[in-house]
């Protein structure tokens, strides 16, 4: 969730039928949809591509964007707040070169649901075809999904996706007519990334994942080698996994000084308008320079005297549903937990002289926080310490603002006489930025069958059983919010709070000294409620009594990471230098007899 909502700039922080109503009294029904106009008087858009872009039919999701800002392509103007562009989406199957796809009053849009309700005005119009491949999975299902093409499952950037040149158009739903759009170019391949003395890029074919997906499937890793790795050939090293979203460049690492042309850092402005390190007001206050300064400062610490000599790994596990896999085994996404823990990590240790499970640790924030905690719980003997910052929901009694086990509707708090929308995102002052319904409908427009690449869709893909059609079963109906209780019960196998309670007698002894959890009390995505519930259980444990460390930032939002001395925008840039020494201290305290605690401490 640390990726900006739908990677539109998230953190990514974020996810049957007929409205459920209490039996005691009726709840007001939603307003009826407007009667659509006759087809011959409706505004419509037609989109096509020519044989120069593809000589064969294509599958995918066709997206039409209507933007209002000059100087920025409409595909980049989509967001999870009030500044968002308009988008409409429709699936296309075997769309042939020269054939047209139609977007009209029947096509679902966001934030305005229908073309008939668009305000008249001038818009920048752009179309994009997010291309799908056909996967013949090892479980016997055949599905159409967007493969990652090295960009980290970002539909706005994926190489090979077709786009049109934006053009300004006058739109008035009251005036019938057709606006024809040609997809006129394919997004280009991404430039290669190079190794340096310290940073190495690894790509490993996973046997487990290849069997699941029915095609060769790879895991990637960026590995930071410690200072002296090449001059200490007999040393072996601990391995730290920094769980995060997909990144082509190692987050928090910069070998060069900051670019000289970047605007200066405005500390007061960042504290006031960019407290969590995300959002449109960060760049004007010099936050890009702050990020580069922090990255170069870490490079100097890493290569200087006194910093722990470890292997630092950022895993690349983008997949057809999201920019990472959540690092667990999943019916829909595949056996990524086993592939990472039993294939990739041992391969890295063989290649770069690792020490093995007693000297492995994990940390991360948001999605990475959940992954770090989940990997430690699912593989308690394979890792020896996890720091989970602002983790995605670790107990589904508090799935953001929804209790999936007891609530009947994910979009509405329902009472006898009224229904109140559930919030999904709040500002640092607690004001609602978006609702659960809004965020989920946006994902539905971007992709059916959990194919939006968004936060709710990946949670559903990871946690849900496979449906009869081969796609994830819905936890709730995306149009109405009505929760499916059978799917909710199936999700318990990924409810970390539930697993801790159910298995504490066997898990507890293996987790002693290994757990740290940090979260802000005003987390923007309401992630603090789940942490509070898990902490209550941990504080109640016996045989053994948990020694987990759980801390709260009393006035902090997403993604507070346990540093009360500064704002999130600064502390999030110091994960490596803060958490690596903590993990090292724990390894040395719990090292088994005969463990190598010396060769790497130079």
Omega prior to 544 cis, within 30 of 0: yes
Q: What's residue 176's pLDDT?
A: 86
Mean pLDDT of the chain: 93
Q: Centre a 10 Å sphere on the Cβ of residue 403 and count the other Cβ atoms it contains.
A: 16
Who has greater pLDDT, 452 or 281?
Answer: 452
Please determine, looking at this structure, whether the domain spanning 42-186 carries the CATH number 2.60.40.
yes
Which residues have C-beta within 8 Å of that of residue 79, sequence separation ≥ 6? 5, 8, 9, 85
Handedness of CA 402, 406, 407, 408 (dihedral sign): positive
- Encode pLDDT of 537-559 as tens digits: 999 999 999 999 999 999 999 99
Helix 575-590, helix 287-303: angle, nearest 10: 40
Largest CA distance in the chain: 81
Q: Taking each helix axis as running N to C, give the angle between helix 367-378 and helix 496-511, from 0 to 180 degrees, rounded to the nearest 10.
A: 60
Q: What global pTM score does this model have?
A: 0.93
Is there a contact between 411 and 421 (Cβ–Cβ < 8 Å)? yes
In 184-249, at which residue ranges do the beta strands (DSSP E only) sit?
185-186, 199-205, 218-224, 239-243
φ, ψ dihedrals at 319, nearest 5°: -150, 180
C-alpha span between 199 and 190 (Å, rounded)? 19
For residue range 411-469, list pLDDT tens digits in order: 999 999 999 999 999 998 889 999 999 999 999 999 999 999 999 999 999 999 999 99
Encode pLDDT of 500-537 as tens digits. Answer: 999 999 999 999 999 999 999 999 999 999 999 999 99
Q: Which of 569, 568, 495 is nearest to 533 (CA)?
A: 495
Least confident of 42-46, 319-323, 379-383, 420-424: 42-46
Q: Half-sphere exposure of 178 toward its Cβ, with a 13 Å CA cutoff?
A: 10
């Amino acid at each position: 969730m640390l990726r900006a909502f739908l990677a539109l700039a998230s953190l990514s922080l974020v996810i049957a039928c007929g409205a459920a109503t209490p039996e005691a009294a009726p709840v007001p029904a939603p307003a009826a949809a407007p009667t659509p106009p006759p087809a011959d008087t409706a505004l419509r858009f037609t989109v096509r591509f020519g044989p120069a872009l593809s000589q064969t039919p294509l599958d995918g999701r066709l997206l039409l964007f209507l933007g209002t800002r000059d100087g920025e392509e409409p595909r980049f103007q989509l967001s999870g707040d009030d500044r968002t562009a308009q988008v409409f989406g429709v699936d296309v199957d075997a769309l042939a070169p020269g054939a047209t796809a139609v977007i009209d009053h029947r096509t679902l849009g966001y934030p305005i649901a229908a073309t008939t309700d668009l305000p008249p005005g001038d818009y920048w119009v752009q179309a994009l075809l997010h291309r799908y491949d056909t996967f013949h999975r090892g479980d016997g299902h055949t599905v159409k999904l967007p493969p990652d093409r090295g960009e980290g499952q970002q539909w706005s950037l994926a190489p090979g996706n077709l786009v049109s040149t934006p053009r300004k158009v006058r739109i008035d739903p009251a005036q019938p007519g057709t606006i024809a759009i040609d997809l006129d170019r394919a997004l280009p391949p991404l430039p290669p990334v190079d190794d340096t003395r310290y940073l190495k890029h690894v790509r490993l074919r996973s046997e487990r994942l290849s069997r699941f997906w029915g095609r060769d499937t790879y895991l990637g890793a960026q590995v930071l080698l410690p200072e002296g790795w090449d001059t200490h050939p007999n040393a072996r090293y601990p391995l730290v996994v920094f769980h995060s979203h997909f990144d082509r460049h190692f987050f928090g690492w910069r070998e060069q000084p900051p670019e000289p042309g970047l605007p200066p850092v405005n500390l007061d402005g960042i504290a006031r308008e960019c407290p969590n390190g995300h959002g449109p007001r960060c760049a004007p206050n010099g936050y890009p320079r702050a990020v580069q300064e922090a990255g170069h400062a870490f490079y100097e610490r890493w290569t200087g005297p006194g910093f722990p000599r470890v292997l630092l790994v950022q895993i690349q596990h983008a997949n057809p549903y999201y920019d990472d896999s959540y690092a667990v085994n999943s019916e829909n996404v595949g056996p990524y937990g086993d592939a990472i823990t039993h294939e990739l990590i041992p391969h890295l240790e063989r290649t770069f002289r690792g020490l093995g499970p007693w000297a492995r640790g994990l940390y991360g924030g948001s999605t990475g926080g959940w992954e770090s905690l989940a990997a430690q719980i699912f593989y308690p003997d394979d890792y020896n310490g996890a720091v989970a910052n602002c983790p995605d929901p670790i107990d589904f009694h508090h799935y953001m603002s929804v209790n999936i086990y007891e609530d009947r509707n994910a979009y509405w708090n329902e009472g006898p006489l009224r229904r109140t929308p559930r919030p999904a995102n709040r500002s640092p002052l607690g004001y609602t930025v978006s609702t659960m319904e809004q965020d989920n409908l946006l994902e539905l427009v971007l992709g059916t069958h959990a194919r939006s690449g968004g936060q709710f869709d990946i949670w559903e893909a990871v946690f849900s059983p496979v449906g009869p059609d081969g796609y994830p079963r819905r936890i709730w109906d995306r149009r109405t919010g009505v929760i499916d209780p059978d799917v909710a019960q199936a999700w318990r196998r990924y409810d970390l709070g539930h697993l801790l309670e159910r298995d504490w007698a066997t898990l507890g002894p293996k987790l002693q000294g290994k757990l740290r959890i940090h979260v802000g009390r005003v987390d923007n995505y309401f992630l603090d409620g789940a942490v509070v519930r898990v902490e209550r259980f941990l504080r109640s444990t016996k045989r053994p009594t948990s020694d987990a460390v759980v801390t709260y930032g009393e006035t902090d939002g997403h993604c507070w990471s346990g540093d009360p001395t500064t704002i999130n925008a600064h502390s999030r840039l110091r994960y490596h230098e803060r958490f690596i020494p903590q993990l090292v201290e724990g390894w040395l305290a719990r090292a088994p007899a005969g463990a190598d605690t010396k060769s790497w401490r130079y």
